[in-house]
Structure formats: structure tokens, C-alpha cells
Structure 1
Amino acid sequence: MQTAPWTTRSLLTPGEVATLFRVDPKTVTRWANSGKITSVRTLGGHRRYIESEVRGLLGAVPAQPR
């Protein structure tokens, strides 16, 4: 049996990703559907996002003035 390259501790919910990017969680789902961000499904069918990938993408986003 192979182990996944991530653990449940390194996965983020759509809400957590949305908070980091300051967008609506549905936007995060659209990004996953279009292939802009990788998602994995839990046994219950919920999306989770790999934290290291999200943090890498977050570092590539220019800061917006408030």
C-alpha cells in the first residue's frame, strides 16, 4: 500500500484557502475545476488542497494595497 505524499495536517479546506487569498470559497472551487490549483477528495467527497502548493501560489501573488 502506498502512502500519500501529504498528511491530513498538510491539507487545507476551501475556506482556509479562500481566507489566505481573500476570495470566496466558490472561487477556490472554480480554480480547482479549471486546473489552476490541485485538489484531493476526502472519503466523504470534500475537496482539500495541499498546503505546500497553496503557500507556493500565495508567494507568487503580488500584494494588493489596502
Structure 2
Amino acid sequence: MSTNAATSEVLLTPAEVANMFRVDPKTVTRWAKAGKLSSIRTLGGHRRYRESEVRNLLADVESGRGAEV
């Protein structure tokens, strides 16, 4: 039986991502719409973000390697 990595990935809410970056949750949604951060839609239509991707982006921003979010 194969295990899908996406099913075991921790997903974060817009509020959790916003807290990590110290921005408003609507800013996180704008980043997703602009393609700066990929999102997954729940069955109810809510956005969720992969924790690993968010942490990588945060590390890039904090180190100055990444483009300004």
C-alpha cells in the first residue's frame, strides 16, 4: 500500500499563516491569489496552506533570500 505525502501534510488556516508573518489573514489570501503561496481548498471552499511551504517562505523572507512577499 502506498502512502500519499499530501494526506499527511499539516495544513494551516489563513489566520495561522497570518500570525506567523504578522499580517492580516486577508493579506495571506491575496498572496495565494497572486501565486506567491499555493493553497488547497477544503470541501467548504476555505483555503488551507501547506505548513512546509509556509515555513520555507518564512525562512526565505527572514533571511532576505526571497522576494518581498
How big is the shift at 1:62? 2.4
Q: Which amino acid aligns with 2:6?
A: P
Q: Number of aligned pairs?
A: 61
Who is 1:35 aligned against? 35
Unaligned residue ranges in structure 2 (runs of 5+): 64-69
Runs of 4+ residues deviating >3 angstroms: none
Q: Which amino acid aligns with 1:56?
A: N
Q: TM-score, normalised by structure 2?
A: 0.79
* Structure-to-structure mapping, 1:1-66, within 5 angstroms: 3=4, 5-7=6-8, 10-62=10-62
- Whether the 8 Å CA contact 1:10–1:51 is kept in 2: the answer is yes
Q: TM-score, normalised by structure 1?
A: 0.82
